[in-house]
């Protein structure tokens, strides 16, 4: 198992770096759309879709949604005079509303889950609300200030990845050592409040380094700390969200696409919440 995890990571990490740093924007849009489509294939398992045909249709709908958005909002129109395209902005706002709804679902689980747990349509809709805004958010960040500095958007993506991964590592070690109070035992028994706090503290180092690197004005540091902390907190929500749907579907992993790692969604679940919320905060307060 460990050997498979290492081999998979050694293959995927360079591919991710190449995609973020070197793909042209159109190619980057397509690459992220393909990742989202693979995530949709796995989400189909969580909705109750079991046949290959039904899962393919669901993945195709999600992939097609990304392509339609890419056609309706060409790359050169995503940003205009420092403002995000209204449609992309609206999708990020819808994503924020969805994650608030998801928080309520997680808090109420399993008592108030009857209205959605037996509905393939609703669970499928929840997947669309999770995955397509992730594509919008990543493309939004990658294209930010592209004409001024082509790699600026890439640095924003790495920033989100850095604080979320730092939070995951911090949460794991602090949770194992000091975890006593369960965060939401009915959804994910292994998550603890101590682990969440440890993750936020670990990510603070990345946030502080980024503030120094970008020479953030001292009067605006509070905004960076707030946005960074909110992003990390919401990333935990993304993890719990997928755990809740997996529990309803009765499966341990979302799929088997990544040997040794389980499913793709198991690796990006926290990012599906972190990217849209960070992008919305960036557009609203930091751009």
pLDDT bin (cut points 50, 70, 90) of residue 2 is very low
Both tokens assigned to 30 = 């397509």
- Tens of pLDDT, residue by residue over 244-279, are 998 888 887 777 776 655 688 988 999 999 999 999
Residues 6+ apart with CB under 8 A from 193: 179, 181, 182, 183
Q: End-to-end alpha-carbon separation of the chain, Å?
A: 43
Of the listed ranges 31-35, 53-57, 98-102, 107-111, the least confidently predicted one is: 107-111
E runs forming strands in the chain = 79-80, 83-84, 182-184, 188-192
What is the distance between the alpha carbons of residues 172 and 112, in angstroms, rounded to a whole number?
Answer: 29
Both tokens assigned to 237 = 């929500």
Is residue 237 scored above 50 in pLDDT? Answer: yes
Q: Are 47 and 124 in contact (CB under 8 A)?
A: yes
Task: Please state whether the predicted TM-score (pTM) of the whole model is above 0.75.
Answer: yes
Both tokens assigned to 94 = 């819808």
Strand partners of residue 188 = 184
Q: Are 145 and 152 in contact (CB under 8 A)?
A: yes
Q: Are 258 and 267 in contact (CB under 8 A)?
A: yes
C-alpha R_g of the chain: 18
């Amino acid at each position: 198992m460990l050997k498979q995890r290492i081999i998979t990571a050694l293959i995927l990490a360079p591919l991710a770096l190449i995609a973020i740093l070197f793909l042209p924007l159109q190619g980057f849009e397509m690459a992220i759309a393909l990742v989202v489509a693979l995530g949709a294939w796995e989400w189909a398992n969580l909705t109750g879709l079991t046949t290959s045909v039904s899962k393919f249709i669901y993945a195709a709908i999600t992939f097609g949604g990304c392509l339609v958005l890419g056609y309706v909002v060409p790359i050169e129109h995503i940003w205009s005079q420092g403002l995000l395209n209204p449609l992309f902005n609206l999708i990020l706002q819808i994503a924020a509303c969805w994650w608030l709804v998801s928080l309520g679902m997680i808090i109420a689980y399993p008592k108030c889950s009857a209205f959605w747990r037996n509905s393939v349509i609703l669970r499928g809709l929840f997947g669309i609300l999770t995955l397509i805004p992730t594509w919008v958010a990543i493309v939004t960040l990658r294209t930010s200030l592209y004409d001024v500095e082509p790699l600026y958007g890439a640095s924003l993506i790495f920033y989100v990845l850095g604080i979320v991964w730092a939070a995951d590592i911090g949460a794991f070690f602090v949770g194992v050592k000091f975890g006593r109070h369960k965060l939401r035992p009915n959804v994910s028994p292994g998550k603890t409040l101590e682990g969440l706090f440890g993750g936020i503290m670990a990510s603070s180092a990345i946030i502080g380094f980024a503030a120094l690197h970008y020479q953030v004005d001292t009067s605006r540091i509070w905004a960076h700390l707030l946005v960074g902390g909110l992003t990390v907190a919401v990333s935990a929500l993304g993890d719990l969200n997928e755990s809740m749907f997996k529990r309803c579907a009765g499966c341990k992993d979302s799929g088997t696409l990544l040997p040794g790692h389980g499913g793709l969604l198991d690796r990006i679940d926290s990012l599906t919440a972190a990217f849209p919320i960070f992008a919305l905060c960036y557009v609203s307060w930091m751009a």
